[in-house]
Every structure is written in C-alpha cells, then in structure tokens.
Amino acid sequence: METTKIAVIGSGNIGTDLLIKCLRGYPRLEPVVMVGIDPESDGLARARGLGITTTDKGVEGLIAMDGFDAIEIVLDATSAKAHLANAAALEPYGKRLLDLTPAAIGPYVIPVVNLDQHLSATNLNLVTCGGQATIPIVHAISRVTPVPYAEIVASIASRSAGPGTRANVDEFTETTSRAIEVVGGARRGKAVIILNPAEPPMLMRDTVIAIVEEFKRDEIIASIHRMVDDVARYVPGYRLKQAVQFTPIDPTEPLRTLIDAQPRARWKVSVFLEVEGAAHYLPAYAGNLDIMTSAALEVANRLSIDAEKSEVA
C-alpha cells in the first residue's frame, strides 16, 4: 500500500494531536514534516522525538525543505488569520489543504455529511469543533423534515481552549452559524461557544435545538441515532448524553420570534451530546480538539483512498 505524505502546520495542541493520531491509526498517511514558528515548542520537540522532520520557519520553511514536492496534503492547525497567509503561500504549489481553522476559504466539510461532494476541492474547511459535533445532528433532522431554525451551543473546558481557539471566537460563531445552514440544511442557524472554567475540567458538551415543521418523532430519532453511530466510527467518544426531547413551541416563547416567518414550525427538538477525547496526546476532557483532529484525518484518509482509486482507473 502506497502512502500519502502529509505535513502538519502548527505545533500546538491540535497539530501535535494530529501527528500522534496519524502515526497510531492511519497507515495510509505518512506524516513527514511538522511546521511551527517557535523553536522551543513542545510540539516540535515531540515530533523530532518521533522521527519527524521539523522546521520553526513557518510555511516558508516548509516550502524551502527538501522533499516538499512529494507532500500531497497539508493540514493547517494554526489560526484563521494565519491560514489566510499559509493558503496564499502554498497556492502556487498545488497542495491539498485541510483547514482546521474557521478561515473558511474553501467549502465546509463534515465527513459524514458532505465529503463526497468536495473530493476535488483544493482547500477543504473543517468548520469548527462545535460544527463537527453538531452539524451532523442538524443534517440528520433536516433529512427527515424541514428545519426553519437551528441553534447550537458548544460548551468546552476552558483548559482545552488554547490561544488559537480564544483568538478565533468570532470566527467560530460566524463560520459555524453559516455551516449549520449550508451543510446542516437549516434555513437559519446560530452558534454559541462557552468556555467553562469548572474544575476538574468537564467533557465537551453540545446542545442542538432544531425547530421542525412536522412531528415525525420516530423518524427523527432513528435518523439521529444513525448519525451518532456514523460519527462515532471515527470519534469513539461521541455520544448522546440523554434521550432526544420533543417540545411543542409556546407562542409566547422568545424563540417564537425567530420563526414567525415559518408559521408551520410547531415543535422544538433538543439533542444533548457529549464528546470524550481519545487521550492520545490531549486529556480526555479535550473532546473539542479531538473531534477536529479525528475529522481532519478522516478526510485526509479518504482523499488518499480516492487518489489511489483514480491512479488505478
């Protein structure tokens, strides 16, 4: 089996977890370079200890390295602002970019929902941790009945929110809200992120509230359970926290004002999720980071398989 050579940009928590996950469970993918900007970073030191070539000169250092031409996929685990510069620098070289920031240059991709539609894209955006956790559920509901409005709340441990996450809060809400509509299928979407300072740190919790026009209880529940199983295939710690809830909408409820233009909307579906990390590098409570790295490697692996099939054909 031929391998696909990849590079990881970003030597922080997400980049390091990407590297370790890739080495542990993705034999098709061969990480050959980790890129950072801090020569003293723990991520670069760990990468060197694992036999991976490193550079602390950023994306320009990557481009200047021997063997750069053989790299097919670059995973960017930096920040939205940094990805804009990295994508511009790499654009002339024809690399496939997987964007783990909310920069959203390329199409939004949720592996279990719409990856098949974007296998030829050169820059694929993994939305956000909250998006990866909740948009599959919005999609699961919308494939059963129209969803005029969907709202998600992602609550993560404050300790799991590094500098990149904190710098990207505005981009998180904007990108996730838009992806709820474009990928999830809701007519209108809203996203909220909460950094919970509780000690000991809590696992990632996600709440999805979807307004639906038809009370298709059994079909909606079955669709959600199928989707949870599909996501758990590559994120084993992804699960429903409790039973799916259905509530008739009270005409006096503030939420009603959001859907006045959709008079048929009569029911609120509430879904409560929990994401426990695999603890390959990050603590188990950092499910928000784990679901991003797992989704990114799922996409990279699929791109590798697709490329191999194309070569055979």
Annotated binding site: 11-14, 160-168, 288
Active-site annotation holder among 100, 115, 129, 300: 129
Residue 182 Cα distances to 15, 98, 142, 292, 298, angstroms: 27, 19, 12, 19, 21
Q: Residue 1 corresponds to which tokens in the numbers above?
A: 């089996």
Q: Residue 242 corresponds to which tokens in the numbers above?
A: 């409790």
Q: Coil, strand, or helix at residue 129? A: helix
Q: Indicate if 129 belongs to the active site.
A: yes
Structure-token match 């441990």, residue found: 157
Structure-token match 């959001």, residue found: 258
Structure-token match 């991003």, residue found: 292
Residue 150's beta-bridge partner residues? 189, 210
Question: Which residues are annotated as part of the binding site for NAD(+)?
Answer: 11-14, 160-168, 288
CB neighbour class for 163 (10 Å; exposed up to 12, middle 13-18, buried from 19): exposed
Residue 203's beta-bridge partner residues? none
Please enumerate in sequence order all residues whose Cβ is within 8 A of that of 95, keeping only pairs 6 or more positions apart, or say none: 71, 72, 73, 74, 122
Instruction: Give the number of other Cβ atoms within 10 Å of residue 80's Cβ.
Output: 20
Considering Cα of 233, then 237, then 238, then 244, what sign does the dihedral take?
A: positive
Supply the residues annotated as catalytic: 129
